[in-house]
Amino acid sequence: MNMLTIAVSKGRIYDDALPLLEEAGIVPIDDPKKSRKLILRTTRDDVNLVIIRATDVPTFVEYGAADIGIAGKDVLLEHGAESLYEPLDLGIAKCRMMTATPVGAPEIKGRIRVATKYVKIAQQYFSGIGVQAEIIKLYGAMELAPLVGLADCIVDVVDTGNTLKANGLEPKELIANISSRLVVNKASMKIKHQVIQGLLDQFKKTLAKRD
């Protein structure tokens, strides 16, 4: 039997992906919120799930530790997913990648300091608009950086914008619209083409019904 391993980002993406997986007959037998197992069996004998950190999904798929992955476009852009097939936009976990500054802050002239965990995305964006930017990598609490003088602005994903607002920041420039994508390992696509294509077709049908 050709076993398929699907890597899914923890949290919101996993929750949003569950109904899609269920339509394809893939339901985890173990609840990842209660089980300590890292590889979850499913109701399909030929499919296992691994629920991992979002930033690890493209790496698992690129190196063949997973055949398929479900991850946000933000993670894929930052990782550089040229080595992966990206056949489907699943249209789930939507948000926006944006710059944000303190409310009413004057426009910055010349070189700016930017706090973000999306270093590659930020570098490409500011380079693309001809702005010299010093990128400061943070792993969390991005909104704090402009408030304590660490940075002039931040680059982060924005959902409702409530966190920005609560910290006296406002979204400014849209860098990219983000949603979760399905990615496939290139070797797996050849070796397990029939089963992967069947799964892709099922996902496409489910998404078409939602439109």
Say if residue 149 is in the same domain as residue 168: yes
- pTM here? 0.91
The number of C-alpha atoms within 13 Å of 192 and in the hemisphere containing its C-beta is 22
Say if residue 48 is in the same domain as residue 122: no
The tally of domains found in the chain comes to 2
Say if residue 188 is in the same domain as residue 166: no
**pLDDT tens digits, 17-74:** 999 999 999 999 987 777 788 899 999 999 999 999 999 999 999 999 999 999 999 9
Domain that holds residue 134: 95-177
**pLDDT tens digits, 69-125:** 999 999 999 998 788 999 999 999 999 999 999 999 988 888 999 999 999 999 999
* Contact by Cβ (8 Å): 132, 111: yes
pLDDT of residue 27: 94
**pLDDT tens digits, 166-206:** 999 999 999 999 999 999 999 999 999 999 999 999 999 99
Going by C-alpha positions, the residue among 196, 188, 193, 182 that lies closest to residue 20 is 182
In terms of phi and psi (left: phi > 0; alpha: psi -120 to 50; beta: otherwise), the region of 22 is alpha
Say if residue 122 is in the same domain as residue 168: yes
Which strands, in side-by-side order, build the sheet including 95-102?
133-137, 112-116, 153-158, 95-102, 169-178
pLDDT of residue 1: 62
Say if residue 88 is in the same domain as residue 107: no
Say if residue 122 is in the same domain as residue 184: no
Say if residue 122 is in the same domain as residue 160: yes
Say if residue 109 is in the same domain as residue 139: yes
Say if residue 153 is in the same domain as residue 100: yes
CATH number for position 54: 3.40.190.10
Say if residue 49 is in the same domain as residue 105: no
Say if residue 69 is in the same domain as residue 171: no
Say if residue 13 is in the same domain as residue 76: yes
